[in-house]
Structure 1
């Protein structure tokens, strides 16, 4: 079984394809990559913070540390490149079941069911 990007969405940006950030080299926003089994119906949300190095610098806490899991760092906004990078990442996400595949995809973005998976193990 393989993973497939079905679509991308942002609760902060109405149209990702035509989006132009106010400052091209200093922005950050939440991107929800809707991913599911290739060739099948169904999708699940994987949340990724898309941001620039300047945004990271600006958002470092008082201690100068920012945890970086589920970040996609770009120099400038380019919708097509972001989608291509996600699709390329997904080429390495395969397994015998969707559960196995989704765990690999969750290295890219926070999986909406990740809490349920961990909670089931406790």
Structure 2
């Protein structure tokens, strides 16, 4: 399996404080053309606290929480998840990746082929 996080990740700089970045990773099968999109948010506890000032409850959804946003650490996290996402077919692998990200085909009910 191969993956690449949004090309703009290198444009982001480490930051502390309140932040929430939506990132997109394009992930596919090594040696095959094409990739599927997976999106997730990387947010700080401070951002979550600020949101809780406006809303009494939040759905955490596909959010990764960290005290300091560091693009290299985020990429390392994604790469480790890719190593653990195995299965007999792409749909199984994508479902595992979907445990922490939104797969572009999450709501698709048709035939994948």
Q: CA deviation at 1:8?
A: 1.4
2: CA distance between counterparts of 1:62 and 1:42? Answer: 39
User: What's the counterpart of residue 62 of structure 1?
Assistant: 55
How many residues are paired up?
109
Distance of aligned partners of 1:56 and 1:115 in 2 relative to their CA distance in 1, 3 Å threshold: same
Q: Normalising by the residue count of structure 2, what TM-score does the alignment of the two structures yield?
A: 0.85
- 33, 39, 59: which one aligns with 1:41: 33
Q: CA deviation at 1:107?
A: 0.7
Alignment partner of 1:110 is 2:107: no
Q: Normalising by the residue count of structure 1, what TM-score does the alignment of the two structures yield?
A: 0.79
1: CA distance between counterparts of 2:84 and 2:39? Answer: 18
More helix by share: 2
Q: CA deviation at 1:59?
A: 1.2
Structure 1 residues not aligned, in runs of 5+: none
Alignment partner of 1:17 is 2:10: yes
2:92 is paired with a residue of what secondary structure?
helix
1: CA distance between counterparts of 2:9 and 2:35? Answer: 19
Q: CA deviation at 1:115?
A: 0.6
2: CA distance between counterparts of 1:62 and 1:97? Answer: 40
Structure 2 residues not aligned, in runs of 5+: none
User: What's the counterpart of residue 5 of structure 2?
Assistant: 8
1:42 is paired with a residue of what secondary structure?
coil
2:76 is paired with a residue of what secondary structure?
helix
Alignment partner of 1:87 is 2:79: yes
What is the RMSD of the two structures over their aligned residues, measured on CA atoms? 1.8
